[in-house]
Amino acid sequence: MQPKFLIGLLFALASSFAFALPGPVGKALYGSGWSPGSVTLVRLTGCALVLLVPTLIQLRGKWGEVRAHWRLVVAFGLFSMTGVQATYFVAVERLNVTIAILLEMTAPMMIVFWLWARTKARPSGLTFFGLAISMIGLVAVLDVGSVIGEGSGSLDALGVVMGLASAVCLAVYFMISANDSVRIPSTALTGLGFAVGAIGTVPFVALGLLPWKATTDPVALGQWSAPWFIAHSIIIVFTVAAYVLGVVGLRLMGAGVGSFVNLTEVLFAAVVAWWLLGETLASIQFVGGAAILAGVVFVKLGERPRGRSPMSKKMPGIEPRRRVKWRPTRKKNHKRKDGTPGNKTQNGDKGQSQKKVQEGNQKRPQRREVTPL
């Protein structure tokens, strides 16, 4: 594997771990009286303020790039920040948490089929094999069998729709973050996304889709008790790190492979929940995590090398067409056999202007020569 891919893999794994930590801390905040809407809005607003100065520093002299890609920046904030969290919390409210996460983590599958439909290039067999192994590992990490055995009842239709909508928003995050044609620095793009996301969350809170409730009670983090602002500070710091590292890793790896690496977030979340909240962690979950990583390797091996598609190959005996820049030709002065200039004028008559000059000279009165007496 290329060093660029290995560096991107390290950034993506670090991003997955940073994404996993705010989940259990947010769950602890819910237990102390905070609502999902208040945690989300405080999280996005705090992240935007933390990245305000670095964003302004990195955008010096590059605001033209932001204006050129303002639609992408707005989409990044609304889908990656507001959309992912708002739709996920609605899904969690109506479904089991495990089912909601399973629906959200179908984003890599959506990306594979989206790239297939867009490029008309069928993924290789290794890609499909890695996709299957990763999904099996995800099911093992989430321990879906025990959830189904508990008999959670029929699935709520709106909850399923919101879970799939969360997957779509997550897929948009991967696609935009992996777009290396945008010259906006990763930290600046993340900071702008947080600002747009915080503004976009306000209507959800105002309409009651994300209820607002906040308290100043201490938060129980495992065996420790922390003030509410410490818990929010942990969420904000690790969220900033997760998005910044994630954008860098995705630009080095690509959206397809990077989205599969993000599946390790579920395993990291289970480990953090076991460490902070004392939740049980089964051995099958570690096996599932290993299966997810194995699936990532197969997906990477199944990637087609860039620039080697059948359409890009040079056909034998046919030279590629070259673009020639048009330049106006200069008129050359040439003479006829009789010595008169023969330049063409705009109306196409040769030497017409010179003839007029000669005729005018002939019509002038001749000076009479006076001979001396």
Phi then psi dihedrals of residue 304, to 5 deg: -85, 135
For the chain, what's the residue count?
Answer: 373
Assess whether pLDDT exceeds 90 at residue 138.
Answer: no
Assess whether pLDDT exceeds 90 at residue 360.
Answer: no
Assess whether pLDDT exceeds 60 at residue 330.
Answer: no
pLDDT in tens, 248-283: 888 888 777 777 787 777 777 777 777 766 666 677
pLDDT in tens, 212-224: 889 988 888 777 8
What is the Cα–Cα distance from 235 to 97, expressed in whole angstroms?
19
What is the Cα–Cα distance from 44 to 28, expressed in whole angstroms?
18
Other C-beta atoms closer than 10 Å to the C-beta of 57 total 11
Distances (CA, A) of 211 to 47, 193, 285: 20, 22, 33
Contact between 293 and 128 (Cβ < 8 Å): no
201-205, 227-231, 292-296, 315-319, range with the lowest pLDDT: 315-319
Contact between 165 and 47 (Cβ < 8 Å): no
What is the identity of the amino acid at 222?
Answer: G
pLDDT in tens, 21-37: 887 788 788 888 888 78
Number of Cα atoms under 13 Å in the Cβ half of residue 316 = 0
The helix-helix angle for 36-50 and 22-31 (nearest 10°) equals 130
pLDDT-derived band at 340, boundaries 50, 70, 90: low
pLDDT-derived band at 359, boundaries 50, 70, 90: low
Assess whether pLDDT exceeds 50 at residue 74.
Answer: yes
Other C-beta atoms closer than 10 Å to the C-beta of 67 total 9
**pTM recorded for the entire structure:** 0.67
